[in-house]
Amino acid sequence: MTRSLLFLVLALYIIAGSARVHAVEDNPGAWAVISASGSFQPERSESHWRYWFDAQHRAFDVGSGISQSLVRPAIGLDLGPTVSVWAGYAYFNSRRSSGERVDEHRPWQQLSWTAHKSAHGSLGLRLRLEQRFVETGDDTGWVLRTQLRYAHRLDEAGRWQAVAFIEPFVALNNTDWGPERGVAQNRIFVGGAYRITSTLSMEFGYMNQHLRLAGEDLVNHLAVAHLKLRP
């Protein structure tokens, strides 16, 4: 089964990577992420309610001043050992090359499923539906995000892992402030993870972000560092 799952992940990487052929602009950047997640009642093994919070700062096209900061809290409910549902909210503050700042609000809902888990690794699927509200427009943008993520254990203690994911974004409608219906973005990440303590880990690597903006293609080459706290 593991071999079949790996072939599936590889096939999706090849399909997504082919979209880069049409890219017209490549820019370097970096993302810094801090997140915390866990159970509301960790002392109770039967507790199914969970929390999530992350904060990020994203720098694009180094030297241009383009950046984005966000905070994203959420609550989740385990429906079983491999399935959970989530509801959350994200606040974005984006700085454009002109220096203008734009606020965005995104309520979102999510289904998470651990499709495969063994001593060697795990494969997870995440479906997230977002509603985007931007101060520069009146329409609500609906976006469906589908992330397929694989983590492979590299040592017996499980302190090191190889990590990869692919995440296409599909805009479900046209809006008066920019996005049009169709595939609007794709992210491909390849990197590693190191467990620092029993509750703290670091994930790091390279992300290829392919964006479709105003009818043109843009590729961001991003260094990503993600500090994770799981009490």
Domain residue spans in the chain? Answer: 2-229
**pLDDT per residue over 23-67, tens digit each?**
567 899 999 999 999 999 877 767 799 999 999 999 998 878 899
How confident is the model over 177-193, as a mean pLDDT?
A: 93
pTM of the model: 0.88
Q: What DSSP letter does each residue of 82-149 carry, written as one string?
A: SEEEEEEEEEEEEE-TTS-EEEEEEEEEEEEEEEEE-SSEEEEEEEEEEEEEETT-SSPEEEEEEEEE
Residue 99 pLDDT greater than 90, yes or no: no
C-alpha 166/C-alpha 188 separation (Å) is 5
Q: What is the CATH number of domain 2-229?
A: 2.40.160.40
C-alpha 131/C-alpha 137 separation (Å) is 13
Q: Half-sphere exposure of residue 140, counting CA atoms within 13 Å on the CB side?
A: 8
Element (H, E) at 8: helix 2-17
Residue 13 pLDDT greater than 60, yes or no: no
Write down the pLDDT at residue 22. Answer: 55
Write down the pLDDT at residue 11. Answer: 55
